[in-house]
Structure 1
Amino acid sequence: MRHLEAPELSFLCDMELTVEGAHLPGKTPIGNRRIIRVTGGKLRGEKLTAEVIPGGDDWITVREDGTIIQDVRILLQTEDNALILMTYRGVRTGSKEVLGRLDAGEDVDPSEYYFRTAPIFETADPKYDWLNRRIFISNGIRLPNGVNYSIYTVE
């Protein structure tokens, strides 16, 4: 069996999202559900600069241990007016105490919890077609009124 080296990462952009308070539909057979409306945001990087068009959603499932599974769909508009669909799934988890602090809206040091996502981009714009053909990952931080991510291309 051949062992391959780990892929390298290159910085794509930082993303900041603003969100509304959670809509809490309650516990379903899958887990506790939260739906959070994305009200705006921005992406800033050398290869990708865009604004987040308000109206996307984060459909969250909260597992029994407090781990959050994200399912996010947002629409981006670049500074040259290209439209890009961005979806991502992610995991945010930590100790019960840390997750409680995050849920209470506290500013918690990101070293105290695990928060990663796997973004996928989709666009019809030829200038940004390369986004359709790459894998991306991000580190995240939960803030009192939103989230920030640093997104990397897997080379």
Structure 2
Amino acid sequence: MSDLKSEFLFEITALLDKPIEIGESPLGKRLIYPVVGGTFDGPDLKGKVLPNGGDWLLMLDATTTKLDVRAILETDGGDKIYIHYGGFIHYKADGSYYFRTNPVFETSSEKYNWLNYTIGVGVGELIEGGVKYKVYAIK
């Protein structure tokens, strides 16, 4: 058994529209944040986030939010990559937060076929108008 290793893939900034509030349900408070654009940039991947995805966010309680995100990335070469992930934002008593995601990729691109077999981890940060992640491939 080997140790868990990671490799930096890219940094992504996703711009979000105002949330569509579904409201309280038995599971929690549901908000949907449409993705309206963004960019990603890394050593082997660079391009834009297409304006057609979203985050079907579920506020479990006052400190924990469960993420359910789907988006399409388009590389500078025109290749399309579907990315989907879950994750959590958990606010701590000191005002900091834990923001992690688990991206999975799907593409028909021969150049980026390796992404189809890659599990990622994203380390997120809230920014004005959206979110930013550093995404790592788990080796």
Aligned length: 139
Mapping of residues 5-154 of structure 1, within 5 Å: 5-95=2-92, 98=95, 112-154=96-138
Provide TM-score, normalisation by structure 2.
Answer: 0.95
Structure with greater helix share of residues: 1
How far apart are residue 94 of structure 1 and its match? 1.3
Unaligned runs of 5+ in 1: 99-111
Larger Rg: 1
Tell me the secondary structure at the aligned position of residue 64 of structure 1: coil
| CA-atom RMSD in angstroms | 1.3
Equivalent-residue separation in structure 1 for 2:93 and 2:26 (angstroms):
22
How far apart are residue 154 of structure 1 and its match? 0.7
How far apart are residue 96 of structure 1 and its match? 6.1
Residues 39-88 of structure 1: per-residue CA shift (max 9 Å, x gap): 00111001111211102110001012431100001011111111110111
- Give structure 1 regions of 4+ aligned residues with deviation exceeding 4 angstroms: none
Equivalent-residue separation in structure 1 for 2:8 and 2:94 (angstroms):
32
Equivalent-residue separation in structure 2 for 1:137 and 1:145 (angstroms):
22
- When residues 94 and 6 of structure 1 are mapped into structure 2, their CA distance, relative to the original with a 3 A threshold, is farther
Tell me the secondary structure at the aligned position of residue 78 of structure 2: coil
Equivalent-residue separation in structure 1 for 2:52 and 2:33 (angstroms):
10
Structure with greater strand share of residues: 2
Provide TM-score, normalisation by structure 1.
Answer: 0.85
